[in-house]
Amino acid sequence: MTEDISTGIPEPEGAANLIETDYEIGQDNIETRVGPFGLDIHNPVFLISGLTVVAFTFLTLAFQSSVAPLFDAMRGWLTANLDWFFILSGNVFVLVCLALIITPLGNVRIGGKEAEPDYSYFGWFAMLFAAGMGIGLMFFGVLEPVYHMAFSEPIGVPSPFDADGNLIEENVAAAKAMGMAATIYHWGLHPWAIYAVVALSLALFAYNKGLPLTMRSVFYPIFGERIWGWPGHIIDILAVFATLFGLATSLGFGAQQANAGLEFVFGIPVSDTAQVVLILGITALALVSVIRGLDGGVKVLSEINMIIAGLLLGFVILAGPTLSIFSGIFNNSVEYLKEVVPLSMPFGREDDGFRQGWTSFYWAWWISWSPFVGMFIARVSRGRTVREFITCVLIIPTFVSVVWMTAFGGTAIDQVLTNVNSQVNQYVIISYSPELSLFGMLADLPFAAVTSFIAIVLVIVFFVTSSDSGSLVIDTITAGGKVDAPVAQRVFWCTFEGLVAIALLLGGGLGALQAMAVSTGLPFTIVLLLACYAIFKGLASEPR
């Protein structure tokens, strides 16, 4: 006789509306060995994604001089002609999320009515934040507020400088406010709404509906059983591509900034070689993290990351204009809420440089990044209600962005406006060196050598936390939604992310990286709009 003391898969616990399907997760997988390494891969998603990535990497390396103009032309066309599409789509995602908070659909619990969260608030938030936008905050925290205040003139708000660089006093207050509001617009509700849509749809269809944790599952309400065939394969392959190119973009930014910081602090010259060595080193750290796994590697690193970031933030608040930062948190939030609607309108504006060069690029970037961040957030979010989920994935990160941007950007703006010889003035306004903007701001605060070193460490750790979680996500998608595929596969993807980043960096630098992110973002925007419909349909059938 048997005595069943099973606890079972702990989801969904309590009432949930499972989707009945005969599809067995892993039924299309191929289990094989390559030398001593076992593989458990989805056919054909792994093979097509893997081979194309390999081919792409080699082609880019082989034709370095000809790919950059091609990517740049592609990016120019997309951001100039489809900016309205990205901006409107971003608005849709925010509205969907806000609707979920206020409607009874927010009562649905991910993982079933009785499910309990897998992770503490701190561990959960650390992981989702580090995966989502860590490197970007480091790169743009100083650059963007200063740049938008001085040059972008969002929705026609004039610069506080005249053509000769002299201050126009009457323009200062409005330009400062708009500089911060425009920056927070790029790092606030809109990006996090993009992540939240992807994450919520995936979590819902995996934990409540019993489908595999892979992008295709979200489309079950639309395609039905056909998601197990080519429509689903294409969605998953697209997700792998979007993730890889999104990661490569971020890795490129990270390597450049870390290299610039190393030159600034230690005199190590900026060069392709140094950046390649950085990517290789950081990929090696990411490998250690993925081999240690979700709890022992990714989570631990994300928590360390948050602690270091918190210390640096605390230092900037104390060493910078403290009172002005504290009042700025409130004032900038108000400015953001006041300006978010005009900034979100794609038509009838003349700020092409800002709208197309910044907003449109960002939205495409976040969207290309969203399958990865969304899948990762989904995986660690079991047990939260939809309302709690949206609050923690949308509202709290937006508030953190407000605080971060106010501290870093506010301090930098203060330095620029009060001291013409400030280093931020030098690196953002006089000679545009974006990768040095953060270090320039820190240089004019006390203990610059120490804080610059901490900033470099932080850039590197943020780099690693994106790379490791991204590898786990690609591994899961290419294993047909199985999260227990052999270790060799996550090692493969982690290594190739690094190689793709190197190829793109050498093949055309940042322009090529940006162009790739934008172009994978376009098809995925359509995918995300369909996901919004799937969320409502999926949630409507859940017990509340």
292 vs 349, which CB is nearer to other proteins? 292
Residue at token pair 């093949």: 507
String of contacts with other proteins for each residue 22-41, x by CB under 8 A: --xxx--x-----xxxx---
CB of 231 to other proteins, least distance (A): 20
Single out the segment in contact with other proteins by CB under 8 A; choices: 6-14, 60-68, 416-424, 509-517: 6-14
Under rule CB under 8 A, residue 484 binds other proteins: yes
**Separation CA 192–CA 175 (nearest Å):** 25
99 vs 488, which CB is nearer to other proteins? 488
Work out which of 490, 504, 519, 538 binds other proteins, going by CB under 8 A: 490
Within residues 185-214, the interface with other proteins by CB under 8 A covers 206-207, 210-213
Work out which of 101, 483, 522, 530 binds other proteins, going by CB under 8 A: 483
Amino acid letter at 247? L
Work out which of 9, 30, 54, 450 binds other proteins, going by CB under 8 A: 9
Amino acid letter at 72? D
String of contacts with other proteins for each residue 380-419, x by CB under 8 A: --x-------------------------------------
Distances (CA, A) of 404 to 118, 244, 326, 368: 28, 27, 11, 23
Q: What is 380-393 written as a DSSP string?
A: T-TT-BHHHHHIII
Distances (CA, A) of 207 to 21, 120, 346, 451: 15, 18, 37, 42
Nearest to 405 by CA among 254, 257, 183: 183
Sign of the four-CA dihedral 215, 219, 223, 226: positive
Region of 112 (left: φ > 0; alpha: ψ -120 to 50; beta: rest) is left
Size of the site for other proteins (CB under 8 A): 49
Residue at token pair 């860590």: 134
String of contacts with other proteins for each residue 272-291, x by CB under 8 A: -------------------x
3-state SS string for 109-154: ECCCCCCCCCCCHHHHHHHHHHHHHHHHHHHHCCHHHHHHHHHHCH
**Separation CA 490–CA 469 (nearest Å):** 10
CB of 76 to other proteins, least distance (A): 41
Under rule CB under 8 A, residue 485 binds other proteins: yes
Work out which of 176, 379, 384, 387 binds other proteins, going by CB under 8 A: 379
Single out the segment in contact with other proteins by CB under 8 A; choices: 11-19, 261-269, 316-324, 395-403: 11-19
Work out which of 3, 323, 348, 421 binds other proteins, going by CB under 8 A: 3
DSSP summary character for residue 216: G
DSSP summary character for residue 154: G
Where does this chain bind other proteins (CB under 8 A)?
Answer: 1-13, 18, 21, 24-26, 29, 35-38, 118, 206-207, 210-213, 291-297, 379, 382, 472, 481-488, 490
